[in-house]
Amino acid sequence: MNILLAHGSPNSSYRQVAEELASRVAKKLGEPVAAHFLDDECPAKGGRVLPVFLGEGKHVTEDVRSMAERFDWRLLPALNESADEVAGLLTAAAGRLDGKARAVMLASYRFTGMQDLVAALYRHSRRLRLPAIAAVHGTPNVADVLELWQREGTGPIALQPALVFPGKSYTRIVETVRKYRAEGMEISLGEPLSAQPGFANLLVRLFREGQ
């Protein structure tokens, strides 16, 4: 059994999207793939587990390893170890959002514990017009950058979340964008990684490399 291990969220669409992603990966891989979450009480035992986390925090270094011991999992390198490829997918997605955008923002979950991804986003974002990187939780945050661009009269704006699934953090971005759109800003909002072309292929490759 192959398992995509994600954080989980009270957002009802999160589990559905994760399971749909696992189904797409399974079709491409030609093997069963299930989606499990940190708060699952009875996850499947055995199998290869790919942790779908963009940061190097406590979940990856402690929680996931503890679960692997309890459930006899063989851990594959977590998604955060493919930061450069993830950043490439995200900046490509940002570039597709709005060809007329005068500024592009990449919104990371946070900066602490996500240094590899943030550094990769900086490298890849150089190809974008007036790029900025903000945090959903931290500073400078998404609202800080939008406030600055609003004062400067910058727009249209393309905003690409650097998130895997549409959980609470994505909802927070949506609400922030809605506020600034109501104030007259023209903002195109991208979807999380789970909906981006190429993401399932990246996960398939990571599974195959772990065989």
Q: Locate tokens 């696992």: which residue?
A: 22
Q: Are 2 and 34 a contacting pair, CB within 8 Å?
A: yes
Ranges of beta strands (E only) in the chain are 2-6, 33-37, 48-51, 74-75, 103-108, 131-135, 157-162, 187-189
More confident residue, 143 or 55: 143
Do 2-81+196-209 and 83-195 have matching folds? Answer: yes
**pLDDT tens readout for residues 108-119:** 999 999 999 999
Quick one: average pLDDT of 179-197? 97
Residue the block writes with tokens 């959903």: 136
Query: Measuring CA to CA, how many Å separate 55 from each of 33, 69, 79, 151?
Result: 22, 21, 8, 32
State pLDDT tens for residues 84-99.
999 999 999 999 998 8
- Note the pLDDT tens digit of each residue in 8-49: 887 778 889 999 999 999 999 999 999 999 888 778 889 999
In this structure, are strands 103-108 and 131-135 parallel, antiparallel, or unpaired?
parallel
CATH code, residues 83-195: 3.40.50.1400
Instruction: Note the CATH architecture for domain 2-81+196-209.
Output: 3-Layer(aba) Sandwich (3.40)
Residues 6+ apart with CB under 8 A from 88: 120, 124
Residue ranges covered by each domain of the chain: 2-81+196-209, 83-195
